[in-house]
Amino acid sequence: MFQTLGLFANLSLEGHYQGKSLFIQNPEDEDGFGFCVTQVTVNGKPIVESVQKPAFEIGFDELDIKIGDLVFIVLEHGIGCKPKILNPEVLLPKSTFEIKEMSCSADGNFTWSTLNESGKLAFIIEQYRWNKWVVVGQVNGIGLNTLNNYSFKVSPHSGENQLRVVQIDHSGKKRVSEPIKFVNSSIQAPNFFPKRVKDVIKFSAEGVAMVTKFEIFDAYGNIVKKGLASEVDCSNLRKGAYYINYDNKSEKFIKG
């Protein structure tokens, strides 16, 4: 953020300490005497090291700042010049979580606890269905390196269920937990009918209507419908072959 205050301006940056220093490129002041930056504060406290040089480092270890701590840096500088922060990405949240405990009740109450988080990153909840990992929800991360507790309600399917949590930080890499497995023996495996559809597909188990997650793909692999329901209106689909994922099954039907 850039802010002008009289004869001086402020360049500020906020993030979480990830164990690396910031490096600042510091041009000469516009009058040619000295350098652009006149003062640096970290969390409101001025750093004592001289900044009157063409480049300098802000090291956080010396400021008693621990990994994961919030930091707010302000560079005060002349209005006729502007310093450059060379590596601002080092203050972005990084996925470092470690799972302490993870469990899920038979009815889908999914809970997990973590240690060693470094900044607030969302947890993506994935469930294994249809021979792939499917995103079923998201929970905002707390971001502390101490114990963090989370919960999320999932919709179990018949048979064995698998769940895991995922984070993606600024590097684009996934950090993935080990999956947990559980079974809800009260859920019957549904079927759908009819296989040649005119208007509506219905899901049922032993003659009783059943709500289930579903995805319908056309012959080119495009998703044309998805949701959570006991029946699906297919009246607006073109005639032809379609593929349907539901519960934990994958099958084919014809729209007539």
Question: With 80 as the cut, is the pLDDT of residue 3 above it?
Answer: no
Q: What average pLDDT does range 3-16 have in this prediction?
A: 79
Residue with the larger pLDDT of the pair 184 and 5: 184
Look at phi and psi of residue 60 and say left if phi exceeds 0, alpha if psi is from -120 to 50, else beta: alpha
Amino acid identity of residue 110, one-letter, is F
What is the pLDDT confidence band of residue 1, given thresholds at 50, 70 and 90? Answer: low
Question: With 90 as the cut, is the pLDDT of residue 135 above it?
Answer: yes
pLDDT score at 33: 85
Residue 128, classified by CB atoms within 10 Å of its CB into exposed (0-12), middle (13-18) or buried (19+), is middle
Q: What average pLDDT does range 168-179 have in this prediction?
A: 94
- Residue 183 in contact with residue 160, Cβ under 8 Å? yes
The yes or no reply on domain 98-183 and CATH 2.60.40.10 is yes
pLDDT score at 68: 76
Question: With 60 as the cut, is the pLDDT of residue 2 above it?
Answer: no
pLDDT in tens, 143-173: 888 999 999 999 999 999 999 999 999 889 9
pLDDT score at 7: 75
Residue with the larger pLDDT of the pair 169 and 1: 169
The set of residues, in sequence order, having a beta carbon less than 8 Å from that of 75 and lying 6+ positions away, is: 10, 11, 12, 24, 37, 39, 40, 83, 85
What is the pLDDT confidence band of residue 179, given thresholds at 50, 70 and 90? Answer: very high
Question: With 90 as the cut, is the pLDDT of residue 97 above it?
Answer: yes
Share of the chain above pLDDT 90, in %: 81
Q: What average pLDDT does range 216-241 have in this prediction?
A: 96
pLDDT score at 49: 85
pLDDT in tens, 183-205: 999 999 999 999 999 999 999 99
pLDDT in tens, 17-73: 888 899 999 999 988 889 999 999 999 999 988 899 999 999 998 888 987 788 999
Q: What average pLDDT does range 84-88 have in this prediction?
A: 96
pLDDT score at 31: 82
Residue 215, classified by CB atoms within 10 Å of its CB into exposed (0-12), middle (13-18) or buried (19+), is middle
The CATH architecture of the domain made up of 191-255 is Sandwich (2.60)
**3-state SS of the chain?**
CEEEECCEEEEEEEEECCCCCEEEECCECCCCCCECEEEEEECCEECCCCCCCCEEEECCHHHCCCCCCEEEEEEEEECCCCCEECCHHHHCCECCCEEEEEEECCCCEEEEEEECCECCCCEEEEEEECCEEEEEEEECCCCCCCCEEEEEECCCCCCEEEEEEEEECCCCCEEECCCEEEECCCCCCCEEECCEECCEEEEEECCEECCEEEEEECCCCCEEEEEEECEEECCCCCCEEEEEEECCEEEEEEEC
Question: With 60 as the cut, is the pLDDT of residue 4 above it?
Answer: no
Which residue has tokens 């004592």?
A: 48
pLDDT score at 118: 82
In the chain, which segments carry CATH 2.60.40.10?
A: 98-183
Q: What average pLDDT does range 109-127 have in this prediction?
A: 95
Share of the chain above pLDDT 70, in %: 98
